[in-house]
Every structure is written in C-alpha cells, then in structure tokens.
Structure 1
C-alpha cells in the first residue's frame, strides 16, 4: 500500500489536517513551481509564445488522465461553477420539463439549474432519500417515475454533505434511457476515486483542482461529450479558443471556427503563468503514485476513522453506503457548539456542520493523525 507522503508537504508535526474536502495543501514541489511561475510575469521580456500554450495543454492532458478521457475532451476553466454554467447554456430544457438533483446538492451544482429552470419554464425537482436507501437508487427512481419529461440530471458519485456514495452508473442508465442530459460535479472526488467517463457517459463533468487533486485554487477542468465538442457554445469569446487564434495577425480577420474538442470551452486568460505550474506539478505527482494506490490509501485511512468513530458509539451512514474517501461522523449528544473552534485551537482541522464532523484524509496523512483527532474529540466532548 502507498505509505504516507507527508514528507512531500509542509505540514508541521503538531498539525492534524484532515480536511481535504474543504481544501488540500499543495505539495512542496508544486509550491516551488508556483513561485517560479510568478517570476515569469516578473520578466515578460523573457517570455516566448510557447508560454501561452505549453502549460494549458499539459494541464489538460493530465486532468483528462484522471477521468479516462483524452486531451481533446477537456477545457481549461476557472471553477466548478463555470463548468456547470457552460453545461446550462448548452443542454436542451423544454418548458414543462424537469431538472432532477439530490436534496441538498452543493450550491455550485444547484444555482445554475434554478436559473435555467426559471428562464425556460421548467421545474427543479430535489429528490429526498429514504433511510438506508442509496442516493443512486433514489435518483434513478425519480428519473424513471417522473410525470414530466426529464431534461437534465445533476449527478455526482458522492453526496458532499452526507459522505454517502452515489451509484452513478444506475443514475446514468436511467438518465440516458429517458434522453436526459447528465451533468456531473467531480470536485469532491476526482483525484481520490478512479473514474472512467466511457462507462458513465456524462454530457459534462466539471471539477476543480483545490481539493483531492492537490492543486491550486481558481483552476478547474471541464469534460465535454463528443457531441458538445462539435456543437457546444462557450460562455466566453476570445481568440484563444478559436482556430487560427495563435496567428500573429489574429486580429486582422474574424475567425468563426472554434478549436477542436473541449478547447472551445477554454476560459479567457487560460495561460495563468502562476496557477498552471502548481496544478501541473501536483497532478504529475498524483499520477506518479497511480489512481488505484491513492484510492487504496484513502480507503484504508477512512476505515480507521470509522473504527475510531464506532468504538465511541458515534453514528453515520450505513457502512455499505459510505463514500470510500469521505467520512461524515454523527456526534449526536456528544456534540458541543464550540467543538470546531476547540479542535482548531489544538491544531486539528476538520469540517463541522451541525452535529456532523466531516473527516477527509489524503495521502499526506498518517495513521496517527486519526487517533490524535479522536483523542482530542474525547477530551473536548466530555
């Protein structure tokens, strides 16, 4: 099994950081790459035209490798919500149709659909889940039994707030069967859980880098299915995503055609000389470990979390419904309103929402981080 990679990060010995689903630290090598990238702009007279192209293409290629896609399938974008906005501009939504999502879906994958429904005369349907029911089953049932045509399904493989897995293949099967577009948010799992777009066939999959991909803030990627690569509309208009946009005389004539594939969805100023090097270094490091070894490491650490939680009588999702890389522990009566602050004061970092404690390790964590966290919880919740 892949051992802890803590030595590649600047995490002080007395810090217990178990909050990757909030924001991961970047590896030391990526931080150094970012510092070098900043200096590119400090001396623009030394830049070459390749500086505008090499970084985006390498980042695009690496991002594609984490979802089973090709380099041509992916656009370089600034945020998950940007990618969802691109999807919302493109997917067909007829008046009277419905857009289906899980109850309490993340806001980056929620608000765009309410806006689209309002404009198109459609309705957003939020699907609840019965106790001990899989989210995938609940969504698939809602799709199959919808009295109105289903235009869009907002999908993912994990409920971000509950730490529960979603059988996305069941959801995708139901969506495809009724002709609905499947739009996915991968920010809480790309880099942690192996995934293949060929099996699920989403229309769009948007994912940021600052969580499980160990990358920078303000950078994301957008996978687009082949049909959208050929006919999709971007939400920004500039020369970087146009055929011929690289020509030195690009301004002399209007170029109507877009670049091939997902590049048509690239954001303006995609060639961020400081941000892209951080992402490239982090993604190369993750790729060097391999998707399966990283996944197995996270599964191992999350099993340890549940051993500690269950030994104390804490609750959570049924074992068969838990996400493999995110643990959401229900503290119940042991919860105290000052828990998050007290943990932080003791240099232990998790996300506390309501009476739930979301614990999300990554490869920089050691087994002792988990035992220390629960020892602190014992002390702080007596």
Structure 2
C-alpha cells in the first residue's frame, strides 16, 4: 500500500480510509482524531474473535499481531523494540516514568510554563507529598523557551529531572526538544519529553532528541484508539535499573517468595492488559509509517499555512500561538462576539473543534489575558478546500 505521489500525499485515498471526514469539517486531531478504517477493522476483528474464544485464547493466537506494535513504534521513533512499552495513555506513561526516578525531599524538577496540565498537577502533587522543588524555565518575549535560563537553572539547582511538553495542548508552539536534550545529556540530568501532540504529526528521532523517557498517546495525531499510548525508555535509564514503583506481572518475574526479576527491556513499565486496544494502536502506528511521517509533516505545513494566513487577515480575530516554530494547533480568541454564538456558528457549519479554558493552562491564559480559546487542529487527511471553508465561515460570523 503506497499513499504518496511525489512529495504530495494521495489525499483522496486517505479520505477513503477516513469515512468520518465526509460528514464534517474535522479540525480536532489535537483532541481525538479520526481513526482510519484499517485501525477500526483490526479492533473489530479482534473483538469479534474474543466473543467466540474469550480474551486469553485470542491473545495467545494473536500474539504476533500484538507484538507488531513494538516494531512499528520503534520504527516511528528510530529506536529498538526493546526501548518501547505499551501504556494506557501518555499521562499513564508519565506517571510510570516519574515513579521510576528515586526522588528525595529537596530534589528539583525543572519544567516549562507550557507543560501539559496533567503533568503540572503531578509535579505539584509530588511537591506537596514528597517535598520536591518545582521550578519553571522562562520563556523569551516571542514565546520560545529560554535555553540560556534552562542552563542557568541546571547549573544552579542541579535538578534530578527536566520535563517538557514538545507541543502544548493549548498552543501551536513547538518547543526545542533537541536543544533541551543536548543540555540534559551535557549535565547528566534525566529528561522526560511529552510528545502526545507531536507523535504522528512531526518526525521524531530519539537519537537526536535524546530523551530518557518519551511519552505518547494513540488518540491524537497518531489516529489510534483512546486509552492507548506508549513509553520510550532510553538504554541509559534501563541500564541504571530504573523501574516503576508499582510493577505489574508483565513487567517482572516472581522468582522466589520475596524476590523478583525485572524485564530487561522497557516492558518492565507495562501493564498486564494490552490485547485489544494495543492491536488498534499497532495498526495506527503502522498506518502512519506507511503513509510516511515526513510526507504527513509536509502536508500539515501546507494546511496550516493556509489556515494561519486566512485567519490572520480577519479583522476582530486574535491568533494566540506564540513562538518561532508552530505546529498543527491553532488557537484564537475574539471579543467581537460571544463564545456561545461562535460555538453555535461553527457547529452549524459542521466544524468539529475544541474550546479550552484557563484551568487547562493557567500560566499561558494569564499572560495572554483571555478566558477561552478556540482550538483548530487539522491533519493530513484534510483538504485545502476545507481550510478555506472554515476561514470563510469565521469571516462571515465576524461581520
């Protein structure tokens, strides 16, 4: 199966695999994207067989299909299958990674003001319960991460962990993941990268980014099922013996009444139940690999250039994505009409989107001075004509 025609994707074939995009203007891949038909078929067939044979027998019969996930995820990140663990979500993977680091009272975590809300809440909980210190890296005036300040914080506070979200959920900003990785390696700091919004959207190469942990979700730009994700664990972290605090039966072997032996691979971080949904995730990653992540990224650039250019020209609309590099997330606000009226107009026009509020990104909303944003996030199966239709709809609403 080949989807590319020169540097452009065969969008007609992609849309044929995506029945949901025929009924709406889907602009919500940063929330939960549309699964391609092969993903749905793989899970349907698996579930149908479970109704006949039960979960254990189907898992045994389809172990090769389940294990394909590790090969495909490793290909996506340019790593080895042994560095990949299945997870129930990016947040689940983050919690597993955090539990593996032996924090002590007084240890420091460095993060950004744009880190994902669930991550921020986890850090704040650790601060209250464990007595760790949470410090945030400054941003430059244009919204980019201040790498000079990051290095100063590392030198001054000797943190145990630097945690960053590659693309925030509340903004199209793309953080400099490779540059952060270089500093963490230079100073010997553990590095956790949340790639929930970048996996499936941008090329990710862990040999260049150099994270110790990278977490991803299936439901967003990767176009997999909900309640799926995965965790990349570096050789450095595995060789150091890092393992989650609470270990499931797939993660280790109970060797004696009071001893156990960890899996040597990243699977020491895995839960027990990985059958049906992991098949859907494996198919989603395989699909992205076959389409080609570079081609996906190029198509996304075309779509977002059209969307940003179109909306920037509208009087009364404020685009709120800062930074020198931006992604397939666009956020905007308007004071010309009420949010309920805007939502009604977009839904009447068959646009699927997300509204975000301050509780999801307190620091970012405060500095931007808004109390809501509309988030649009098209993906490579969208067409330029759809982008133009969304821009025209918003333009008519603002008149």
Could you tell me the TM-score, scaled by structure 1's length? 0.88
Partner deviation per Cα, 1:106-164 (whole Å, 9 max, x = no partner): 123222222223343221123342421412xx255134246433221111322321211
Number of aligned residues: 371
- Structure 1 SS opposite 2:157: coil
CA distance change for structure 1 residues 213 and 368 in 2, over 3 Å: closer, same or farther? same
Give how far 1:98 is off: 2.1
Of 310, 314, 317, the residue aligned with 1:312 is 314
Measure the CA separation in 1 of the matches of 2:329 and 2:375: 7
CA distance change for structure 1 residues 152 and 373 in 2, over 3 Å: closer, same or farther? same
Match of 2:394 in 1: 377
| 2:114–2:165 CA contact under 8 A, matched in 1 | no
| 2:86–2:278 CA contact under 8 A, matched in 1 | no
Give how far 1:277 is off: 2.5
Greater shift, 25-34 or 231-240, is seen at: 231-240
| 1:55–1:276 CA contact under 8 A, matched in 2 | no
CA distance change for structure 1 residues 321 and 108 in 2, over 3 Å: closer, same or farther? same
Match of 2:354 in 1: 351
Match of 2:368 in 1: none
Partner deviation per Cα, 1:286-341 (whole Å, 9 max, x = no partner): 1111111011011111111111112224443678624232223x334345311123
Measure the CA separation in 1 of the matches of 2:95 and 2:190: 14
- Structure 2 SS opposite 1:187: coil
Of 95, 104, 112, the residue aligned with 1:102 is 112
Match of 2:150 in 1: 142
CA distance change for structure 1 residues 140 and 152 in 2, over 3 Å: closer, same or farther? farther
Partner deviation per Cα, 1:192-214 (whole Å, 9 max, x = no partner): 10011111211111111000111
- Structure 2 SS opposite 1:95: coil
Of 270, 292, 295, the residue aligned with 1:293 is 295
Give how far 1:87 is off: 1.5
- Structure 1 SS opposite 2:197: coil
Residues 1-382 of structure 1 aligned to structure 2 (within 5 Å): 1-4=8-11, 5-11=14-20, 13-44=22-53, 47=57, 50-51=60-61, 53-135=63-145, 138=146, 140-145=148-153, 147-230=156-239, 231-242=241-252, 256-270=260-274, 272-273=275-276, 275-313=277-315, 314-316=317-319, 321-328=324-331, 330-338=332-340, 339-353=342-356, 354-382=371-399
Measure the CA separation in 2 of the matches of 1:168 and 1:213: 19
Partner deviation per Cα, 1:326-372 (whole Å, 9 max, x = no partner): 223x3343453111233123210122334533221112211111111
Measure the CA separation in 1 of the matches of 2:59 and 2:15: 37
Question: What stretches of structure 2 of length at least 5 have no aligned partner?
Answer: 1-7, 357-370
| 1:92–1:151 CA contact under 8 A, matched in 2 | no
CA distance change for structure 1 residues 24 and 57 in 2, over 3 Å: closer, same or farther? same
Could you tell me the TM-score, scaled by structure 2's length? 0.85
| 2:213–2:234 CA contact under 8 A, matched in 1 | yes
Partner deviation per Cα, 1:231-280 (whole Å, 9 max, x = no partner): 1223443432335x8xxxx9x9887222231111111212x22x123222
- Structure 2 SS opposite 1:99: strand
CA distance change for structure 1 residues 379 and 219 in 2, over 3 Å: closer, same or farther? same
CA distance change for structure 1 residues 180 and 336 in 2, over 3 Å: closer, same or farther? same
- Structure 2 SS opposite 1:256: strand
